[in-house]
Amino acid sequence: MRSSELPQVKALGLFETMSDQSFERLMQAAYLQTFPAHLTLIHEGVTADFLYVLVEGAVELYAAANGREETMAVVRPVETFILAAVLKDAVYLMAARTIARSRILLVPAADVRLAFEEDAAFARAIVSELATRYRGVVKEHKNIKLRSSVERLANRLIRYEAEQGGHGVLELPYEKRILASLLGMTPENLSRALRTLKPYGVLVSGSTIRLTDRKALETLAKPSAFIDVDAS
C-alpha cells in the first residue's frame, strides 16, 4: 500500500487503536482497490483469504440454496466483511458483490489473525465489532419474527427517511429486489405492502417515497429501540 494512503486507513474504526508498529506491519501486504458495480467479490464456501473493509460504495451479502437466492445484508462504509470467517480461518458463509462502484481495503487473512494475537488494542476492537454485529443479527431476527411484512416495511421507511434528513421524502437506497429480500419478502409482496401503506400517508413514485402522515405510519409501525436502532 502507498504510504500516502496509510493515514486514511489508520483512521478507520477497526485500526485506529492499533500501535503504529502493528498497523504498519498489517498493511504491508494490504491494498486499496476500486471495483465496478455488480462485481462478485467472494463466493460462498471459499476459504477466507482477505478481510474486506468497505471504504466507499455499497456491497450486497447474499446466499443461495435449492435454487433460491436471498440478500442477507447490505454493507455500507465504513464496515468490514466477513470478519468471523477470517478469524476462524473458515469458509465464507455468504457471497458478496458490489451494488455500486466501491473502494475496498483488502487485508490478508493470515496477517489479521497474527495482529489479533499480538496487538491487544486491535483484538479489543475486533471483539467489539463482532459483538455489535451479533446484536445487529439479533435485532434483524426479532424484526422478522415479531412483525408482519407491512410493519417491517413501515419501520424501514421510517428509518430511511430519518437517515436522509427527516424531511418527509426518501429515496430507496437499493433496488426493490434487494429491499424486499432484506425484509424477508418477495418483490411482489413488497409492491402489495407499499399499496397497503397508502392510507398511512405513503406515496410512491418510482424509487422516491413521500411520508405525508408520519404519525399514522408510526402508529402502525410501532418503532422499538430494541429492534430498530442500530446495534450498540
Give all strands of the β-sheet with 50-56 in edge-to-edge order. 31-35, 102-108, 50-56, 79-81
Is the confidence at residue 116, as pLDDT, over 50? yes
> Looking at the structure, do residues 110 and 157 belong to the same domain, yes or no?
no
Residue 128's pLDDT is: 93
pLDDT tens digit string along 30-63? 999 999 999 999 999 999 999 999 999 999 999 9
- How far is the C-alpha of 230 from the C-alpha of 216, rounded, in Å? 23
- Count helices and strands in the chain by DSSP H and E runs: 9, 11
CA 176 to chain centroid, in Å, comes to: 16
Number of domains in the chain: 2
The last residue of a domain, from among 88, 117, 144: 144
Q: Is-contact 120 189, C-beta < 8 A?
A: no
Domain that holds residue 125: 3-144
Instruction: Let me know if residue 231 belongs to a domain.
Output: no
Is the confidence at residue 3, as pLDDT, over 80? no
Instruction: Let me know if residue 228 belongs to a domain.
Output: no
> Looking at the structure, do residues 187 and 213 belong to the same domain, yes or no?
yes
